[in-house]
Amino acid sequence: MTGRGVGDLQNVKLVCKAFNRGGRGGTPRRSLRKIVGFLTICVTCLLFSSPVSAQVTFDRLVNAAKEPQNWMTYSGDYSGKRFSGLDQINTKNVHAMVAKWVYQTAATGKLETSPLAVDGILYATAQDDRAFALDARTGRPIWMYQRQLPGDIRPCCGRVNRGLAILGDKVFLGTLDAHVIALDAKTGNVVWDVAAADYRTGHSFTVAPLAVKDLIVIGISGGEYGVRGFIDAYDASTGQRKWRFYTVPGPGEPGHESWEGNSWKTGGAPAWNTGSYDPTTNQIFWPTGNPAPSNRGTGRAGDNLYSNSLLALNADMGKMNWYFQFTKHDEHDWDATQVPVMIDAGGNHLIAQADRNGFFYVIDRTTGKLISATTYGKTTWSDTKDAEGRPVANNQSSPTLAGRTVCPGALGATNFMAPTYNPQTALFYVTARDQCDIFSTAPQPYEPGHAYYGSAYFPSDEAEPYRGFLKAIDPATGQVKWQFEHASPTFSGVLSTAGGLVFSGDAEGNLIAFDAASGKPLWHFQMGGAVYAAPMAFAVDGKEYVAIAAGSAVYTFALP
């Protein structure tokens, strides 16, 4: 199903293009009447075309579900569902899907970008803060931007970027040298550029920002460098910072007592994955990452708030309404930086999050109270739950000098890869990993801009090989309804569509379409490079496309 109104307008635009083509190839003997007729139609075209390239308003973002041909935020809409309302490609015809175009970014390394699609234009990013706009029908670039980065940036985990935000006539990029920049959506020219923090102390941005009202919300990376994490909001027009929420409370603030001594100053709790937003309560839900040093609790006794937490922030002020901490006093690098997915079921307003620590949590998003926590993969760190139902760490999980095997391993039961929730099947789909690692302490002093782990991890010689899955979880029960085992673990995100399909990639380079109900693979395509990105869907000229980044390129697929 595509937005009929826009589709009609695009048909008019096509007529106009045809006339333009006629105009270019026309003969000088064309009669005045013809020319007048042509001009009349073209003016009509322009009038009717203008909404097609209309600005992306906050209202459009709130009502993103009404225009499923567009994909205007990182997760497709504010709810974080990564669900597309398009159904042209469905379980019956997906076997015929073919590659339509490929855009080579010329970047090396992992591509983690999730493109935006707005009115026939695709906006995406690549390594080293490249950004580009493509003709969504052909993959031909409209503009390209690459930031001139300082030579001494040291981003933690690849020179990656997960995508852009769009608002008005601008797109927004967080950079590896910790700037937030606005680019003109039509030209890629820099409109404003502000420094959020000093990159030399290990701050960087890799996250796709989220546009809310007239603000650009973005969270910092740098948990491996002992930064003090924060979430910022910038005025989309001027770049002026409107608020900052420090994810590690300072002296006098509630939660400060959860840090030993001065450890809060280097406490980590970065915010490097995109949150979701509830317009009805004007709350932003944003997840945070590991405390620092990531794998050593000595010296930072306490719960270490608000590391590994989900934060509910007032969008206008950045004030915290509630928090929920998934892993207290983490010593395994189990960032809670997964996209929080808003689900409304049976009159309940919930958030579901499959956490890196191996538990699937359902939380009441009005109060922040836990509803359920169930394992969805191999976990050994917790055998009991507290009074609120929260999994509690056992005494066999802290890293030791000799080393201690713990599951999940350092990469987690899942990680940053985007999950999806399909309202039609009422299932939550997530990429999962069964892996155990030996965690061994390796104390490090804090030095600005230096790695700050405090421990190391290794695969065990005797450990079972790592296993990777796509799992379909029923949020009502926490049960895994079906799972597909990949040839090896993957970092691919997941998309679900109204066509009854789930799309995900794998480490071997396949994009795979699954039956959302049964998990049966219905189609696959070998893209020739490992997937670290999440798929998305859009439509142009009434044709549905699925897009995903793999290797060094962005691929699109559609019916022939």
Partner 1 sequence: MFRQRSIQTLIRRPAGATPPPGLSAAAMLIAIIILALSGANAADDRNPFGRDPKAAKAGEYQFRINCALCHGLGAHGGGRGPDLTRPQKKHAHTDAEMFQVISNGIPGTAMPANGTNGQGVGMTDAEIWQIITYIRSQEVKAPTKATGNAGHGKELFYGDANCSLCHMIEGKGGRLGPELTAVGESRTRVAIIDSVRNPSRRLAWGLAEATKEFPQEYETVTVVTADGKEIKGVALNEDSFSVQIMDTSEQIHLLEKDKLKSFQKSRQSAMPVYGADLLNDKDLDDIVAYLSSLGAK
Give the footprint of partner 1 on this chain (CB under 8 A): 109-110, 154, 156-158, 200-201, 224-225, 265, 403, 411, 440, 442-444, 447-448, 450-451, 453, 455-459, 461-462, 465, 486-491, 506-510, 512, 521, 524, 526, 530, 532
Q: In angstroms, what is the minimal distance from the CB of 513 to partner 1?
A: 12
Instruction: For residues 369 and 365, give the distance between their C-alpha atoms in angstroms, rounded to a whole number.
Output: 8
Closest CB to partner 1 among 137 and 200?
Answer: 200
Instruction: For residues 276 and 317, give the distance between their C-alpha atoms in angstroms, rounded to a whole number.
Output: 16
| 273, two tokens | 């994955």
- Quick check: helix, strand or coil at residue 124? strand
| 546, two tokens | 């699925």
Q: In angstroms, what is the minimal distance from the CB of 531 to partner 1?
A: 10
Q: Would you say 296 and 455 are in contact if contact means Cβ atoms under 8 Å apart?
A: yes
Q: In angstroms, what is the minimal distance from the CB of 524 to partner 1?
A: 6
Q: In angstroms, what is the minimal distance from the CB of 377 to partner 1?
A: 17
Closest CB to partner 1 among 48 and 466?
Answer: 466
Q: In angstroms, what is the minimal distance from the CB of 456 to partner 1?
A: 4
| 421, two tokens | 């929730």
Q: Would you say 458 and 439 are in contact if contact means Cβ atoms under 8 Å apart?
A: no
Instruction: For residues 319 and 466, give the distance between their C-alpha atoms in angstroms, rounded to a whole number.
Output: 41
Q: Would you say 452 and 294 are in contact if contact means Cβ atoms under 8 Å apart?
A: yes
Instruction: For residues 410 and 331, give the distance between their C-alpha atoms in angstroms, rounded to a whole number.
Output: 10
433: which strand partners? 468
Q: In angstroms, what is the minimal distance from the CB of 445 to partner 1?
A: 9
Q: In angstroms, what is the minimal distance from the CB of 57 to partner 1?
A: 38
Q: In angstroms, what is the minimal distance from the CB of 225 to partner 1?
A: 7
432: which strand partners? 469
Closest CB to partner 1 among 13 and 110?
Answer: 110
- Sequence length of the chain is 560
Q: In angstroms, what is the minimal distance from the CB of 91 to partner 1?
A: 17
Pairing of strands 83-84, 494-497: parallel
| 543, two tokens | 């044709």
Instruction: For residues 543 and 237, give the distance between their C-alpha atoms in angstroms, rounded to a whole number.
Output: 34
Closest CB to partner 1 among 206 and 382?
Answer: 206
Closest CB to partner 1 among 68 and 449?
Answer: 449
Q: Would you say 433 and 413 are in contact if contact means Cβ atoms under 8 Å apart?
A: yes
Q: Which among 77, 278, 333, 506 is annotated as catalytic?
A: 333
Closest CB to partner 1 among 319 and 520?
Answer: 520
95: burial class by Cβ within 10 Å (0-12, 13-18, 19+)? exposed
Q: Would you say 401 and 476 are in contact if contact means Cβ atoms under 8 Å apart?
A: no
**Closest residue by Cα to residue 306 from 285, 284, 329:** 329
Closest CB to partner 1 among 233 and 430?
Answer: 430
Q: Per residue, what are the HEC states of 427-444?
A: EEEEEEEECCEEEEECCC
Handedness of CA 145, 113, 221, 453 (dihedral sign): negative
Angle at the Cα of 550 from the Cα atoms of 209 and 94, rounded to 5 degrees = 100
Q: What is the torsion angle, in degrees rounded to the nearest 10, for the CA atoms of residue 490, residue 492, residue 493 and residue 499?
A: -100
Closest CB to partner 1 among 12 and 456?
Answer: 456
Instruction: For residues 38 and 127, give the distance between their C-alpha atoms in angstroms, rounded to a whole number.
Output: 45
Q: Would you say 139 and 104 are in contact if contact means Cβ atoms under 8 Å apart?
A: no
The backbone torsions φ and ψ at residue 407, rounded to the nearest 5 degrees and listed phi first, read: -120, 140
232 is catalytic: no
For every residue of 38-106, DSSP letters joined together read HHHHHHHHHHHHGGGG--B-HHHHHTGGG-TT-B-STTSSTT---EE---SS-TTTGGG-EEEEEEE--
Q: In angstroms, what is the minimal distance from the CB of 433 to partner 1?
A: 10
Closest CB to partner 1 among 85 and 399?
Answer: 399
Closest CB to partner 1 among 349 and 524?
Answer: 524
Pairing of strands 543-550, 341-345: unpaired
In 306-367, the DSSP E strands lie at 309-314, 320-325, 341-345, 348-354, 359-364
Residues with a known catalytic role: 333
